[in-house]
């Protein structure tokens, strides 16, 4: 589908028509960041200035805010859109907004009048948005290879598969409705890449409003991110969205106004959602998916009982790298330890899977076995042994990831098939994640060696394991080889 565009110079006229007020600021091109908002004159605020009634740089009426509630409103005013929404939507606010944006884009790209779909301020506003969004779901195949070995490799593939399924559903359900089939799929059909672009626009431009929640806000979404932002947004007593300078800022004429997109997102999350990484404001963390042991006969039951996607979380806080992996506890206990699965038939006829450990029903606590198991067995050495097993599972997963990162070809700036920005972002992500993985593995080795030493000193443990002799020889081997990594 062709995406019609409008020059950014026409935005002030659109703003006037729709009651959006810019005060001493304007939207313009910025170096390397697409559009941005700059000051039209010097701006200085005192430490007391910034309140919702203080100097306002931008005001956007509430009825332009686009979110789940607004979509319900549009559906009330347009019976054809309601029919489409009832057939395809109501799965999530995000998917409903995407459907609305799809219709608006299709309306804007038609040269003749369409028999369905009502134009509104968004039909035109969408045409000001940038054609290229640098989020990895829109990177070319060659560029996505740059993410091999990073935590985004699997995440981006999974997102593209999910978008494909979502797009298939939209196409199938909407083409059953004659009038929508004509607008969306006949003369200028929508393609999968259009859906990926709408998702990218939504993800990179929606923000969390204090009262209205996750929303797209026209013009406010022209403001770029900085680790030292000069402005912030609010909703005032009239439910308008307002942009205010931070207290005590000095912004010279021509300088850019920035906001914060958040300081708790990892480098991978920033790249995934916004297409860039700001090392000054990213959290030092990463998340990796974890598979159950291939030879575990209880693997499927454990996944169902856990009820979430198993993950390893690694984060550096106050200079120390820590890890967390709730599923590894479930991976490391088995039938011989007392783990059992049962199906409980309810009076209503439903059959619910239940998890028992040593006779105790732990169905609702499968994601907190780290705390639960020591409370169930206080004197037994099992909790410590379990901790050691879990640490080994996590170590192996991090090692597998680091091996994949190191064995994938390093991004090179002079590859003609890869855009410079993608190469730069991939290099930065690889650097950040390599450092984190290396530090986490070092910390795990130390942790495990300490645990193993204290365990092996405990007579209880040795008796429990029944491994007195092999344990001794293991220790001897370790001293001889001095291989600190070999703690498994
Ligand atoms: C909400 S929009 C901001 C307006 C956008 N620059 C435009 O051209 O429409 C978010 C997008 O702006 C760009 N961006 C924002 N802050 C940035 C920064 N500090 N560095 C690089 N790109 C940035 C990214 O492309 C991001 O996906």
| Ligand 1 center–CA 259 separation, angstroms | 11
Atom of ligand 1 nearest to the CA of 226: 19
The pLDDT assigned to 261 comes to 96
The pLDDT assigned to 411 comes to 76
| Ligand 1 center–CA 34 separation, angstroms | 6
The two structure tokens encoding residue 183? 């607008």
| Ligand 1 center–CA 225 separation, angstroms | 7
Ligand 1, atom 23, residue with closest C-alpha:
33
The CA distance from 63 to 241, in Å, is 10
The two structure tokens encoding residue 419? 């855009």
The CA distance from 295 to 309, in Å, is 19
pLDDT digits (tens, 9 = 90+) for 436-471: 999 999 999 998 888 777 777 766 666 666 644 444
Question: Which of left, alpha, beta for 459 (phi over 0: left; psi -120 to 50: alpha)?
Answer: alpha
CB 254 within 8 Å of CB 71 = no
Task: List the one residue out of 325, 486, 312, 483 whose CA is nearest residue 401.
Answer: 312
CB-count burial class (<10 Å; 0-12, 13-18, 19+) for 411: buried
Q: Give the mean model confidence (pLDDT) for residues 394-421.
A: 90
Superfamily, domain 8-259: set domain protein methyltransferase, domain 1 (3.90.1410.10)
| Ligand 1 center–CA 233 separation, angstroms | 16
Residue 362: phi and psi, rounded to 5, are -115, 25
The CA distance from 146 to 154, in Å, is 12
Q: Quote the percentage of the chain above a pLDDT of 90.
A: 69
| Ligand 1 center–CA 249 separation, angstroms | 22
CB 224 within 8 Å of CB 33 = yes
| Ligand 1 center–CA 36 separation, angstroms | 8
Task: List the one residue out of 199, 175, 176, 173 whose CA is nearest residue 189.
Answer: 175
What number is the ipTM of this complex?
1.00
Ligand 1, atom 4, residue with closest C-alpha:
222
Atom of ligand 1 nearest to the CA of 134: 25
The two structure tokens encoding residue 171? 């196409």
Task: List the one residue out of 374, 379, 339, 373 whose CA is nearest residue 359.
Answer: 339
Atom of ligand 1 nearest to the CA of 129: 9
- Protein residues whose CB sits closer than 6 Å to any atom of ligand 1: 33-36, 130, 134, 204-205, 221-226, 274-276, 278
pLDDT digits (tens, 9 = 90+) for 476-485: 343 333 333 3
Atom of ligand 1 nearest to the CA of 225: 16
Q: Give the mean model confidence (pLDDT) for residues 295-319.
A: 93
Pocket test for ligand 1, best of 7, 139, 225 (most atoms within 8 A of CB): 225
- Please report where in the chains the tokens 């005032």 appear, as a residue: 236
Q: Give the mean model confidence (pLDDT) for residues 416-424.
A: 92
Ligand 1, atom 15, residue with closest C-alpha:
224
- pTM, two decimals, is 0.89
Ligand 1, atom 7, residue with closest C-alpha:
35
- Candidate ranges 251-265, 333-347, 405-419, 474-488; pick with highest mean pLDDT: 251-265
- The more confidently predicted of residues 26 and 384 is 26
- The more confidently predicted of residues 347 and 61 is 61
| Ligand 1 center–CA 106 separation, angstroms | 25
CB 129 within 8 Å of CB 405 = no
| Ligand 1 center–CA 32 separation, angstroms | 9
End-to-end CA distance of the chain: 55
The pLDDT assigned to 425 comes to 96
Please give the full DSSP string across 110-152, using - where no structure is assigned: -SSPPSS----HHHHHGGGS-S---SGGGS-HHHHGGGTTSTH
- The more confidently predicted of residues 488 and 310 is 310
| Ligand 1 center–CA 83 separation, angstroms | 35
Mean pLDDT of the chain: 89
Give span(s): CATH 3.90.1410.10, the chain: 8-259
Q: Give the mean model confidence (pLDDT) for residues 154-169.
A: 96
């Amino acid at each position: 589908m062709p995406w019609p565009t409008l020059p950014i110079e026409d935005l002030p006229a659109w703003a006037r028509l729709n009651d959006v007020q810019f005060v001493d600021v304007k939207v313009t091109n910025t170096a390397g960041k697409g559009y941005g908002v700059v000051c039209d004159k010097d701006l200085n605020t005192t430490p007391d200035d910034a309140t919702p009634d203080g100097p306002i740089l931008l005001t956007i009426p509430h009825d332009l805010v686009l979110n789940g509630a607004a979509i319900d409103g549009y559906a009330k005013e347009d019976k054809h859109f309601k029919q489409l929404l009832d057939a395809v939507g109501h799965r999530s606010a995000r998917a409903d907004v995407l459907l609305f944006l799809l219709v608006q884009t299709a309306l804007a790209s038609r040269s003749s009048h369409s028999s369905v779909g009502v134009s509104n301020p968004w039909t035109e506003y969408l045409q000001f948005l940038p054609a290229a969004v640098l989020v990895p779901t829109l990177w070319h195949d060659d560029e996505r290879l740059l993410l091999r070995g990073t935590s985004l490799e699997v995440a981006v593939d999974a997102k593209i598969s999910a978008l494909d399924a979502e797009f298939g559903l939209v196409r199938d359900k909407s083409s059953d409705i004659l009038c929508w089939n004509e607008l969306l799929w006949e003369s200028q059909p929508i393609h999968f890449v259009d859906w990926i672009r709408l998702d990218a626009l939504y993800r990179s431009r929606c923000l969390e409003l204090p009262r209205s929640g996750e929303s797209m806000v026209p013009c406010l979404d022209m403001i770029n991110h900085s680790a030292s932002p000069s402005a912030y947004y609010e909703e005032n007593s009239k439910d308008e969205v307002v942009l205010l300078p931070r207290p005590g800022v000095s912004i010279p004429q021509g300088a850019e106004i920035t906001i914060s997109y958040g300081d708790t997102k990892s480098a991978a999350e920033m790249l995934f959602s916004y297409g860039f990484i700001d090392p000054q404001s990213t959290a030092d963390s990463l998340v990796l998916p974890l598979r159950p042991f291939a030879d575990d006969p209880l693997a499927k039951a454990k996944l169902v009982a856990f009820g979430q996607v198993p993950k390893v979380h690694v984060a550096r806080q106050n200079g120390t790298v820590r890890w967390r992996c709730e599923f590894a506890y479930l991976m490391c206990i088995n039938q011989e330890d007392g783990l059992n699965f049962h199906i409980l038939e309810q009076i209503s006829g439903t059959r619910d899977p239940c998890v028992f450990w040593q006779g105790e029903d732990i169905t609702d606590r499968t994601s907190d076995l780290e705390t639960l198991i020591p409370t169930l067995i206080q004197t037994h050495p099992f909790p410590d042994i379990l901790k050691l097993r879990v640490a080994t599972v996590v170590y192996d997963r991090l090692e597998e990831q680091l091996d994949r990162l190191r064995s994938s070809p390093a991004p090179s700036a002079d590859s003609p098939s890869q855009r410079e920005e993608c190469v730069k972002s991939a290099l930065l992500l690889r650097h950040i994640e390599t450092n984190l993985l290396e530090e986490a593995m070092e910390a795990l080795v130390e942790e495990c060696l300490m645990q193993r030493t204290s365990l092996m000193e405990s007579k209880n443990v040795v008796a429990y394991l029944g491994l007195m002799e092999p344990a001794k020889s293991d220790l001897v081997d370790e001293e001889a080889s001095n291989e600190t990594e070999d703690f498994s």
